[in-house]
Structure 1
Amino acid sequence: MAKIDYYFSTLSPFTYLAGGRLEEVAAKHGATVTYKPLDIMALFGRTGGTPPKDRHPSRQEYRTIEMERQATLTGLPINLKPAHWPTNAAPSSYAIIAAQNAGGGDLGKLVQGFLSAVWAEEKNIAEDDVVRAMLEGAGFDPALAESGLLTGAETYAQNLEDAVSAGVFGAPFYITEDGARFWGQDRVDALDWHLGRS
């Protein structure tokens, strides 16, 4: 069975714009997905990237154009200037880690729920009631929002180290068991092609 390490940030607009395509591709090929949320701003600092607010105006402008274009192509609603961005991604990331460890729900739905909350629903994913609602909506025990915080913090930090070691520099980023790397929501088709060849 193929395995995919999925590095992402619950603050990333391009992770949001991937929608549920990763899960569709994984199901098609019988692949398992390990969800590895990370601190995207720390990743930028470690791998030569620049946070969006510090980029040259032409890069900021193009980022907005591409977000709008990708939203149109995917049919996903998007607020280009969400009320709660950036916010603290740790609570949502810890919840995803706890849910993955607990099992029993739909991790893809949970991840997309947090992303939709930021980019389409004007919700603050750092707030406990939002985290609990997302967990419950994806079929997990909402109490996971308060459990496993130490494990969540340790795993969240380790995910960053794993990402840097694996050559990850942005989000979303997909790495297959044979080491093939794919960066961006627009590379899911290439991931699909690669898995079909394996």
Structure 2
Amino acid sequence: MPGIRYPPRSEIDRILPILMAKRIFARVEEPPELKLVHLWALASDDTADQHLAWLPVDLDVAADGPSPILRAAEQLSLQSPTRLWGFGLAYCSVGELFLGPEGPPQDAVHAAYEGRLRERHTADDICAATIFDARGRAFNCAIYTHMPELGPTNWDDNTLKAAKQTQTWIRHFHLGVISAHVWVAALALDPDRNRNLLKRLIQHTS
């Protein structure tokens, strides 16, 4: 099996807005009650060209069955002409963007968990995209859909840098958090590198 070809950061910065734009345009024609996200498969060939493919994933379908994200990831993997280096998730939601290094305030976190985020006067519709690669790195971008003049907010994360952080992602996976399922799909693209972590996930789900 050929090695994974990871793109330079400049390519990731180019891809993230593509994922968000596709999701924003598709949302215009969707019923508001539809709970769709876009899952993207990301691959590089030996000429450094990027191959992007996506599927819409209905989060309300087979909620009690296998993960719709993992099913879609498998389908995209089988269709890819070359080895994937990551998966992307694009979605629209209600949120707030916090730029400080201290992260979101606790009242915003509690409002999100309790489903009251829309009640906050600083919350608004956002579109966001996250790319997870097989090394556990996450590249994020978000924008207020009604205030595009504010520009995008970008931030990165290494989900495997600290054991406590990795354990949080594992817990989110078992709780059914969509982004964590995309994270696992990306890690599975390099089973040799991530053998121990994937083994832990299998043990917890068996």
TM-score by length of 1: 0.28
Considering fraction of residues, name the structure with more strand. 2
The structure having more radius of gyration, on CA atoms, is: 2
Structure (1/2) with the larger helix percentage: 1
| TM-score of the two chains, using structure 2 as the length reference | 0.27
